[in-house]
Structure formats: C-alpha cells, structure tokens
Copies of this chain bind each other. A is one copy, B any other.
Amino acid sequence: MARRRPTSHDVAKLAGVSRTTVSLVLNDVPGVNISPETRQRVLEAARQLNYYPNAAARRLVSGQTHTIALVWHRGPDRTYRDAFLPGLLQGITRAARHYGYHVLFRPIDPDESDDCYVELARGRHTDGLILSGPRSDDTHLLDLHRDGFPLVLHGQLPGTDIPSVDIDNVRGAALAVEHLLKLGHRRIGMITNAPLIYTASRQRLEGYRQALTQAGIPYDEALVRYGNFDEESGQQAIEALLALDPPPTAVFVASDMVAMGAMRTLRDRGLRVPDDIAIVGFDDITAARFIVPALTTVRVPTFGLGWTAAERLIRLIHRDTLQETHVLLETELVVRESCGAAVP
C-alpha cells in the first residue's frame, strides 16, 4: 500500500476518543456503557478511514488465530482422494465461516516429511488441525494430541482416542452387497478398493462378509480380489474373477475408479453389464453418472464429512466436550443401471 494503513490510533484521534473506546465499540464488547453519540462517532471515523483491525495484533493479544487447517495427505491414492476434495473443503469452509474461522489448506506430498504440519500447530498459525489420511506411524500427531492441541482426524487411526470423522465403510459395503442379494445374486465377487493395509479396505471387505453371512452364504476367499485405487488394478482383478468356474454373476467393486477398469475389461470382452454380470461401485465419483451403463454405487457424503470435522474441531478449540470421540457418517446407495435393478 502506498500510504500507511490506518490504526486504531488514527480512528481514536479522528473520533476524539481513546483507543480503548475504539476497541470497545468496534468489538461490540457487552456490558460496557458507551453513549450512542460516541459509538456513532467511532463507527463513522472507522468507516471514513476504511479501518480494519490488524489481524496479527489481534491474534497476538488474544492468543487465538480463528483459523483451522486442513492437512491433506497425498499418497498413492492421490487421484482417488482428489475426487473428494471439493466437497470436503466446501463442508469445512462452510462450518468455519459459520463459526467465524478461516481455513488454511496444507497438502502433504509423498516427498515431504510427515511432520511438516507440526510448525503450523506449534507455531500457532492455526487453532486446530483436521488431518485427512492419518498415518499410524505419525508420532508427532500423538505428541500434539498429548499436549492438548485440538485435532480431528478424517479417517481412522485404530487404537487412539483422537477424535475422528469417517464414513461407515462396513455399513456402506453391506448396503451394496445387500442390494445385489436382493436382486437374486448368490455368487457375488468383490474387488477391494485398495490393499488391506488401508483401514477403509478392510472395513469394506468386512461389510461384504457381513452381508453374505446375513444371507446365509458362506464366505469364499476365491471370490475376493484386491484393487489398488486405479483402473488398471480393476482390469486385472476382474480378469481373475472371470477366470473362475463358474464366474460370479455380480461383483461389488469397493471403488468407482477401480470399477471403471473392471467395466472397461468387461466391455472389451464383449460381456454386457448388468445382463452378463452386475456391478456395484463405491464412492460415487462424477464419472459414475456418465459411464454406460451408469454405475450403481455408494455415495460418500463429502460435504457432511467436512462440515462435521470442522464443527467438532471448533468445539474442541472452544474446550467443549464431544459427546462421542469417533463419528461415522452414513452412506447412501445410488441405484443406476449397472446393477440390473429396474430404473424408473
């Protein structure tokens, strides 16, 4: 800026009052009696000078930044996770705005050390942290938590009491499989979204098992193959499933991206979906609507995940107590064409 920014001093001078009064008026401090005329004079002076209080000074004196940060791990599941970013961020920023907070976005690339977000917290750039895709070997995280720094995980870290928000993967997967069972399928294969080191993968597999058990169908390991976030893994997995004798009549693919690969292979092989084989995905990425046949899938409430995480984090910052430490959000089955259910 060319000229010096106005300070509360300038406003005080122009209004003919002290800086104390300026602060009191501008912050609308309750329980203080200031004459309406004085109040008006201060407001007018501030407007005239186009005065905005310096955030740094405020932060210093209040000890609060009114900022929360989203730390976004970008691992091998990058493309997969990117699909959720807009919704999640939208949920976080909406909640933040509602409570008067700003949002800092901090992606962590695979080549970065895990602790690069620690400075954000310890250096008080932010009042709290949402960590998306937490690592179980992240000791800095536990240190921060131990020191009472407000933290919410997006995703799960088994065996910790750090508050977390996630979707109910088990239930979501069961939803998908139950739907296939209802359509009459008995021999249902599964392709996981990722290797089983990922919590979500294990949980979605668990949901598949539960739904089968519930229906009195024995779990058959041969019907399960492992995806790895991308199309190609879906192609390989479906090949293996097709090689079975007999092959499954339906497959639950626990990731839309992986399902895209599976469907490509089926098409290349001249197999029709859902007539020859039914498919249900998971995630509801944008492409699920557009592919032919349109993919029946399990929708992830990205906005709700973001809103809930931010809302709980701000609670923590305010030293409110959380009712429950871990929150699981419900998913929703979106029935389209690939499952073979009649679409109205």
Stretch at the interface among A101-109, A166-174, A204-212: A101-109
Question: Could you give 15 example pairs across A and B, Cβ below 8 Å?
Answer: A50-B122, A54-B124, A55-B123, A56-B59, A56-B124, A59-B59, A60-B60, A74-B90, A85-B85, A86-B86, A89-B107, A93-B105, A102-B104, A103-B105, A287-B287
A52 touches B290 (CB 8 A): no
How far is it, in angstroms, between the C-alpha of A109 and the C-alpha of B105 when the chains are bound?
Answer: 18
Protomer copies: 2
Which of B90, B149, B285 is close to A107, meaning CB atoms less than 8 Å apart? B90
Given known contacts A56-B65, A122-B52, is B286 in contact with A267 (CB within 8 Å)?
no
Q: Per-residue 0/1 for A255-279: is the Cβ within 8 Å of any B Cβ (1 yes, 0 no)?
A: 0000010001001000000000000
Complexed CA–CA distance, A233 and B267 (Å): 29
Taken together as a complex, chains A and B put the C-alpha atoms of A291 and B67 apart, in Å, by 41
With beta carbons under 8 angstroms apart, the residue of B59, B85, B94, B106 that contacts A103 is B106
Partner of A148, one of B1, B59, B124: B1
> Can you add 18 more A-B contacts, CB < 8 Å, to A52-B122, A57-B60?
A5-B124, A52-B123, A53-B123, A54-B124, A55-B65, A56-B124, A83-B286, A85-B85, A85-B89, A90-B107, A93-B105, A93-B107, A94-B109, A102-B104, A102-B125, A287-B289, A287-B291, A290-B290
Interface flag for A44 (CB, 8 Å): no
Residues facing B in A63-113 (CB within 8 A) are: 65, 67, 74, 79, 82-83, 85-86, 89-90, 93-94, 102-107, 109
The smallest C-beta distance from A17 to any residue of chain B, in angstroms, reads 21
Known contacts A54-B60, A83-B286, A290-B291; A93 and B122 CB within 8 A of each other:
no
Residue A119 lies at the interface, judged by CB distance under 8 Å to chain B: yes
Shortest CB distance A250–B (Å)? 20
Q: A81 — nearest CB in chain B belongs to which residue?
A: B86
In whole angstroms, what is the CA distance A60 to B119 when docked? 18
Which residue of B1, B52, B102, B124 is within 8 Å of A55 (Cβ)? B124
Expressed in whole angstroms, the Cα–Cα distance for A90 and B264 within the complex equals 29
Alpha-carbon gap, A67 to B83, bound state (A): 26
Q: Nearest B residue to A267 by beta-carbon distance?
A: B292
Question: A123 to chain B: which residues have CB within 8 Å?
Answer: 52-55
Cα–Cα distance between A184 and B89 once the two chains are bound (Å): 45
Q: What 0/1 readout, one digit per residue, does chain A (120-148) give for beta carbons within 8 Å of chain B?
A: 10111100000000000000000000011
